[in-house]
Structure 1
Amino acid sequence: MYLARAVRCPPHLRATYVEISNYFRGRQLGRLSALQAHSSPVRSFHDFSEKHRSNVTSSEFLDKFKQSMEFPQTTLDIDTLYSQDYEGQSVLLHGYLDKRDDMGKELSFARLYDHTMGRTIQLLSNSQSNTLPQLKKISRGSPVVVQGTVKRRVTKTAEEERNDYLEIALESIQPLNEFPREIVLFGKNIVHPPKHRHLQLRSDKELRDALRFRAQARNVCRETLEQLKPAFVEIETPLLFKSTPEGAREFIVPTRKRGKAYALPQSPQQYKQILMASGIPRYFQFARCFRDEDLRADRQPEFTQLDLEMAFAAGQDVMAVVEEIIRGLWGNMMREPVPSGPFRRMTYQEAMTRYGSDKPDTRHGMEIHRVEHLLPADLVSKITPLTDPIVEAFKMDTVEQLPSATREFVSRFFDSTEGEPFNKNPDGAPGIFIYDEGQPLKGLGPLGFEAAEKIQEMLDLSHGDLLILQARPQGPFAGGATQLGSIRRAMAAASISEELREAPPGFEFLWIVDFPLFSPTDASEPGQGGTAGLSATHHPFTAPKTSSDVDLLSKDPTKALADHYDLVVNGVELGGGSRRIHCALTQNYIFKEILKMPKERIDEFQHLLNALWAGCPPHAGFALGFDRLITVMLGKESVRDVIAFPKIGKKGEDAMVKAPGKISEEVARLYNIKLK
């Protein structure tokens, strides 16, 4: 059993779902939001500066420093005191001094945090001990070494009798470094700004527990992969790579060689494929990846993924291994087990048709239906400027089934920052109807009698239900969501956060499969730099799904399906993978004939083509977004809540160390960089 099973206290399901939903919608939440809100109590801090030595000589602080270097060691902690019988014995502990209560001039009590900041014990000092003056001098939050006799104390509650019945009568206390008195470390609703992330970590037990949980989850994943037969081998791949057109924007690392630069890897994709050609049958690593993208609540410019690859394998084999990893994690670290048997599968086409998203939360219901064939032409012309559009609809039910409550919710939603942009859709704003049995045609009058009757029957509308219509152009699906799918997702989250609907329980895992191999080029994405007007939907190394899809490469590549698979849970994409192209000639054909990449771009993949050409076996792999996985497991609002030192803001800044920072002219000259 892993420690996390014992220490983790999962949040209330409603709160958990709301947090996941908010995170999925990309809202700016977490510590940063609390910091920006006017009502949030934010502490004003004083940074270290030379003024802090104005009242102390160098000999004084150097003497204190020397004394702090010579502190006694201990093998005890507070948990050990409670697990074994130390009553009446003199013990030595390390920790942090917490709040002190003075009972007059001759008696003081204080709490001592252990070295993990996880548990406290009471300290007692009185006038009979020479420790009282020293205890009163030490500021709260200071690291200390204490020595004293373990005693049973008077308890007031049953909880104290179980977990807090010991105290230490102080014999000595040694401060190791004074905590500044002007900084308030603890307190109700105290939020430390990103500039002082170390203080937030120190004061926020939930954040520290999340980091421990993350470390334990890593161990579970590693143990699962190493126990499989044949075992996976953990191999580190380089972080200093080269710039290649895989599909995302890169971070460039200049060198002192004029015109030469490294690029930080978007993923270890090419290295792990080369490993498959090198006789390594099964590989994994917890890989650091870098993408120069705008931040969202679920995205960082640098992130961790559990990366794996398997030789002599197809997508089905990889999916089975990933399911083993998930079952190991949930079985060891979560209170709610993962359902037995293979995870449910849904095609990209079905997901987009039924839910308007390639990562749907299917627990909501709220399925989308095409209704343009039922609607009068004059109504269609009122809701969209499109000619011959597709019109789709979904219903959202409510707990109270009160049209007035639904109407108020709709008004708030479309006035909010999340809902207001939906009204600016160039294809037309959403059509909104509230099913009200007290109104003519039950609130569906604009649809006309015949359409209202058929839509009511199709969607099984009830009193107080919300009906949303949205038009979109004719054509195949592209991208990750339709406009109506985005409305569905946002409304589901908002209605649950306002308690208009109940949060669906549990974790529902879902494989999304059969993605298009190629998609129309998106001007906002770098793509692969070809001239065909197409880009690889995921990356250009993805193999076609079947032999029939291989045939389509030369006939109509836009209809070819990819052997790609995304793992989704409750509307959150945890990761994705695919079977790779293991034939150099086929890979070069994709680059040159399908994507129409120029020769200089293709030459950037020469190393990969060489590896594939040297008898590379069929292989497939997966990348599990580790930050996002831990966020979902713990029900957190943002990946920032499971990362020790996250980046913040759209520019991906580290406010604590002030990165990225300006470079001097001297450094610019050294690396042949021209500063504007």
Structure 2
Amino acid sequence: MSLLRVSLRRITVSRTPNPKLPRGLFHQKPRTTLSFSTYHSADHQAKKALGEQFREEWSNYSQFQRASGADEFRQGQLVTVHGFLSRRRVKSSKLVFADIQIDNGPAIQITSSFENPDSPDAELTKAMRAIPLHTPVSVTGIVSKLHESPPPPGDGVSNSGLFPSGVTRVDINLEDIQALNQFPKDIIVSDGVKFPPKARHLQLRFSEALRSRLLARPQIGLRLRNKLNDLGFTEVETPILFKSTPEGAREFLVPTRNRALAYALPQSPQQYKQILMASGVRGYYQFARCFRDEDLRADRQPEFTQLDLEMSFATGKDVMRAVESLVSEIPAVLNAQFSMVKRGDDVYPVLKRGLKPTDVEGQDMQWPELSAPFPRLTYQDAMSRFGSDKPDLRIPFEIRRVDHALPSEFVSKITHLKNPIVEAFRFRPQLGQDGDVKTVAKFVDTLMDNLPAPLARHPDGAPTALIYDSTRPLGGLSSLGHEGVEGLTNAGSGVTDFQDLEDGDILFFQARQDVPFSGGSTALGTTRNHVYHQAVASGLLPRDFGFQFLWVTNFPMFTLDNNTDPGQGGRAGFSATHHPFTAPLTANDVELLATDPLKAEADHYDLVVNGVELGGGSRRIHVAKMQEYVMREILEMTDEGVGQFSHLLDALRAGCPPHAGFALGFDRLVAVFTHTNSVRDVIAFPKSMKGEDLMVGSPGLITAEQQKTYHLESGRNGVREAG
């Protein structure tokens, strides 16, 4: 009882901050405050009193008992756990239940009750009810029941040794509770609350989906790491402070105190890992931090993590098989440790031992097993059939070329181009019993009225949508005319997709210039993706939680320069599609380097799933003479530009073996497998779309002292190098 009385006194003291402490010390507004100037002008006695009060308050919040270990959790045992007071249920004035939030552990339910209103148990119940929700607490009590289930096979974790394996919930009769730092009243928490980016710490604490995805991330990483170790790869850390080299993306520079000298943060460990192959390392990997100063999207961050690997004495096919074996491991670890839950439109994994009784919707879903080898498509096939070099194979319709079947009058209505290529696809919605053509018409009107600007104002013309309706003349396709309808629906056209039209089918048309494919997508390919996702959101197609993996191969070795990517800075007017170290695909492509390099194909392969490029790799140029030829003669890089790669050329010249590699976007991989479209949902502290960390306020302004130290000047257009 003496321990209990001390605990109760401690709770009572900790609930009310001392009114003489400085404002904000415990995030509660005190009744009186001491200003900074008052504090420093106070006499010695006042300072001493303030110090004693601070020590007392600090003592109230800092002393707590050691948490119990897994071997102590037995029925009838006195245990101590730490966590957040997350939910309280007052059944009566004499009976209260509360939950303790513990990540990576079972559910904890504490019970506090009493019979005699003058008993210590009554005081304890009163004190527990007075502690604000979401406060970190230390709880001591008697284990009344352990709820157990069989541990997951193989990859089941045992609560990191803190709780017994297989326990999903622990019921504890409260003996003592201590607040460790009270949660402030001015922070309002509600179900599904969205905090601003500046309060990322609160979003992490109160978003189950965000926390769950962060818990899944290291489990996926651990499985991949173990698999690579089993395959004989060696983990090697490469430097973060690198040098500026024109690999293809913009870099972040790090100034030094030496005038005119700067580091560059690595776009990838590409050059270091090739040097490792020349060093005799047979197989290399690392979870590498990479940095690129590029335009941001939902699946991009200026700093990101990639699982980087390289294999010597290997071809691209060897690397692809290794990557397939890696990725195929992920469903097993997720199914063993996690269940899916559904909250509104969001679906995400939750540790099985942390499931609540109400978590039933979505649990019947599984991460499907992956079957290797994955399908392979050439770049040309992917662009012609799907309009994208990262096609989403879940979308149940493909693109067909139809300009040979259309009258010139219709073509002139959808584009100003002369002799264009016209492509189309048919989208068939799932209308259900209550749906009809009017439902489809409403969907199309909304879709076309809200097209993204790049589609609505495309220079080759916006997409055109026609709805098939058998009750209307020419089935509602009168814009095509008799000739166009006959051309599309007749078997003689060679296109079979439009011969069995049904009411509600939507035909989308788009014109483009009659030039070879380049870049990552066509306008109609982008429209195809947009239509699919809008149809899923509108309920016209079911959401597909499967994973459609494929390899895209045979990319062009070089791509015409654009106004976005810096490329390699050569004078040829084109740049390496992947990077300048990628090898030609065949002997014929080697010959094309000298005669028509834009027709040469590269031994470059991308791994794609559900319309997301998870990573890319290639067989490398391992002969120094060939590498220098590509840089100097094909890309027409300057002597200075080629000289920036002298370290790599020296390594290749030293008898570097043939080698190939791959870089897997780890953030994207985790996002895909945890069913989110944004990598920001799987990164604890992500950057905004402007590359800013809004929580800490970075990047920050350069101070005058820093400008002097690093030989920088602040000009009208920002900071520039001095001297």
User: TM-score band, normalised by the shorter chain?
Assistant: 0.7 to 0.9
Structure 2 letter corresponding to 1:309: E
Q: What is the identity, as a one-letter code, of the residue corresponding to 1:332?
A: V
Separation of aligned partners in 1, 2:489 and 2:544: 24
1:165 CA displacement: 8.3
* Displacement of 1:209: 1.6
Matched, 1:393 2:424: yes
CA contact under 8 A between 2:407 and 2:483: conserved in structure 1?
A: no
One-letter amino acid matched to 1:171:
E
> Is 1:76–1:93's contact at 8 Å kept on the other side of the alignment?
no
Contact 1:96–1:117, Cα closer than 8 Å, also in 2: no
Indicate how the Cα distance of structure 1 residues 105 and 570 shifts in structure 2: closer, same or farther if over 3 A, else same.
closer
Residues 518 and 72 of structure 1: is their aligned pair in 2 closer, same or farther, counting only changes over 3 Å? same
Work out whether residues 364 and 504 of structure 1, in 8 Å CA contact, stay in contact via their aligned partners in 2: no
Q: Taking structure 2 as the reference length, what is the TM-score of the superposition?
A: 0.81
SS in 2 for 1:609: helix
Secondary structure of the 2:627 match is: helix
Whichever residue aligns with residue 404 of structure 2, its letter is H
The residue type paired with residue 440 of structure 2 is: T
Q: Of the candidates 186, 191, 194, which is equivalent to residue 182 of structure 1?
A: 186
Describe the SS at the equivalent of 1:362.
coil
Q: Any idea what SS the aligned residue of 1:624 has? A: strand
Question: Within the alignment, does 1:449 sit opposite 2:449 as a pair?
Answer: no
1:247-301 CA-to-partner distances (Å, cap 9, x unmatched) read 1111111111111111111110011011001010100000011111222111111
Q: Counterpart of 1:119?
A: 107
**SS of aligned partner of 1:404:** helix
Partner Cα separation in structure 2 for residue 341 and residue 255 of structure 1: 48
- Cα separation, 1, equivalents of 2:227 and 2:371: 17
Letter in 2 for 1:208: R
Tell me the distance in 2 between the aligned counterparts of 1:580 and 1:209.
Answer: 38
Equivalent-residue separation in structure 2 for 1:336 and 1:483 (angstroms): 32
1:293 — aligned with what? Answer: 294
Q: Deviations over 1:156-209 (max 9, x none)?
A: xxxxxx99986433332222222222223x422211211111111111222112
| CA gap 1:511/1:102 in 2 versus in 1, 3 angstroms | closer
Bigger drift between 99-108 and 579-588 goes to: 99-108
The verdict on how the C-alpha distance between 1:47 and 1:616 changes in structure 2, with shifts beyond 3 A counting, is: farther
What's the counterpart of residue 326 of structure 1? 327
Aligned to 1:220: 223
- Any residues of structure 2 matched to 1:265-664 within 5 Å, and which? 265-334=266-335, 335-400=366-431, 402-416=436-450, 418-419=451-452, 421-457=454-490, 458=495, 459=497, 460=499, 461-504=501-544, 506-648=546-688, 650-664=689-703
CA distance in 1, matches of 2:83, 2:405: 71
Change (3 A) 1:138 1:50: closer
Aligned residue in 1 for 2:361: none
1:61 correspondence with 2:54: yes
Q: Are residues 165 and 573 of structure 1, via their aligned partners in 2, closer, same or farther at CA, if it must alter by over 3 Å?
A: closer
Q: Residue 406 of structure 1 aligns to which amino acid in structure 2?
A: V
Partner AA of 1:471 in structure 2: A
Change (3 A) 1:526 1:643: same
Is the 2:368–2:546 Cα contact (8 Å) retained in structure 1?
no
Distance 2:462 2:90 in 1: 65
Matched letter for residue 170 of structure 1 = L
One-letter amino acid of the structure 2 residue matched with residue 371 of structure 1: V
The alpha-carbon distance between structure 1 residues 425 and 670, as it changes in their structure 2 partners (threshold 3 A), is same
* Shift in alpha-carbon separation, 1:603–1:388, aligned structure 2, 3 A: same
Residue 485 (structure 1) shift: 0.6
Q: Secondary structure at the residue paired with 1:436?
A: coil
Tell me what 1:140 maps to.
133
2:78 is the alignment partner of 1:90: yes
Q: Name 1:193's counterpart in structure 2.
A: 196
For residues 694 and 169 of structure 2, the distance between their equivalents in structure 1, rounded to whole angstroms, comes to 42
State the distance in 2 between where 1:210 and 1:312 align. Answer: 37
Q: Tell me the residue number matched to 2:713.
A: 674
Shift of 1:91: 2.0
Question: Using the alignment, how far apart are the partners of 1:487 and 1:212 within structure 2?
Answer: 35
> What's the TM-score once normalised by structure 1's chain length?
0.86
- Pairwise CA distance, 1:451: 2.4
Residues in 2 aligned to 1:348 and 1:655: alpha-carbon distance in whole angstroms: 39
Query: Structure 2: how far apart are the matches of 1:522 and 1:165?
Result: 58
Asked if 2 retains the 8 angstrom alpha-carbon contact of 1:111 and 1:123, the reply is no
Q: Distance in 2 between matches of 1:218 and 1:555?
A: 45
Give, as a single letter, the amino acid of the residue that structure 2 aligns with 1:610: D
Which amino acid in structure 1 is aligned with residue 109 of structure 2?
A: I
- Within the candidate set 150, 159, 170, 2:143 is matched to 150
How far residue 69 of structure 1 moved from its aligned partner, in angstroms, is 4.0
The answer to whether the 8 Å contact 1:512/1:567 transfers is yes
Q: How far did 1:561 drift?
A: 0.4
Q: 1:563 to 1:585 in 2, by over 3 A?
A: same
Q: Percent identity?
A: 49
Aligned-partner Cα distance in 2 for 1:493–1:675: 46
Moved more, 47-56 or 312-321: 47-56
Q: 1:413 to 1:118 in 2, by over 3 A?
A: farther
Quote how far apart the aligned CAs of 1:106 are.
5.7
- SS in structure 1 of the partner of residue 328 of structure 2: helix
- Could you tell me how far 1:58 is from its partner in structure 2? 4.3
Deviation at 1:102, TM superposition (A): 5.4
**SS state at 1:171 partner:** strand
Structure 2: distance between partners of 1:337 and 1:75: 38
Task: Give the stretch that moved more between structures: 61-70 or 665-674.
Answer: 61-70
Is the 8 Å Cα contact of residues 413 and 420 (structure 1) preserved in structure 2?
Answer: no
Instruction: Give the Cα separation in 2 of the matches to 1:377 and 1:395.
Output: 21
1:116 Cα shift?
Answer: 4.8
More moved, 365-374 vs 315-324: 365-374
Q: Residues of 2 paired with 1:106 and 1:50: CA distance?
A: 31
Does the CA-based 8 Å contact 1:243-1:250 persist in structure 2? yes
> In structure 2, what is the Cα distance between the partners aligned to 1:117 and 1:668?
49
Q: Is the 8 A contact 1:371 1:393 kept in 2?
A: yes
Q: Is residue 118–residue 205 contact of structure 1 (8 Å, CA) maintained in 2?
A: no
- Closer, same or farther: CA 421–499 of 1 in aligned 2, 3 Å: same
The answer as to whether partners of 1:288 and 1:304 remain within 8 angstroms in 2 is yes
The alpha-carbon deviation at position 504 of structure 1 amounts to 4.4
Matches of 1:70 and 1:505 in 2, distance apart? 48
1:539-594 residue CA offsets vs partner (Å, 9 max, x unmatched): 11110001111111111111110000001111111111000111111111111111
Shift of 1:101: 4.9
Cα gap change, 1:295 to 1:58, in 2 (>3 Å): farther
Q: Judge conservation of contact 1:226–1:232 (CA < 8 Å) in 2.
A: yes
Query: Given that residues 653 and 660 in structure 1 are in contact (C-alpha distance below 8 angstroms), is that contact kept between their aligned partners in structure 2?
Result: yes
Aligned-partner residue type, residue 329 of structure 1? I
Higher relative contact order by CA 8 Å / sep ≥ 6: 1 or 2? Answer: 1
Between 344-353 and 58-67, report the one with greater CA deviation.
58-67
**Contact persistence 1:427–1:472 (CA under 8 A):** yes
Conserved? CA contact 2:99–2:107, under 8 Å = no
Q: Which has the larger radius of gyration?
A: 2
* Mapped contact 1:582–1:616 kept (Cα < 8 A): yes
Cα distance change, pair 440–47 in 1 and its aligned pair in 2 (3 A):
farther
Q: CA RMSD in A?
A: 2.5
Contact preservation (8 Å) 1:327, 1:337: no
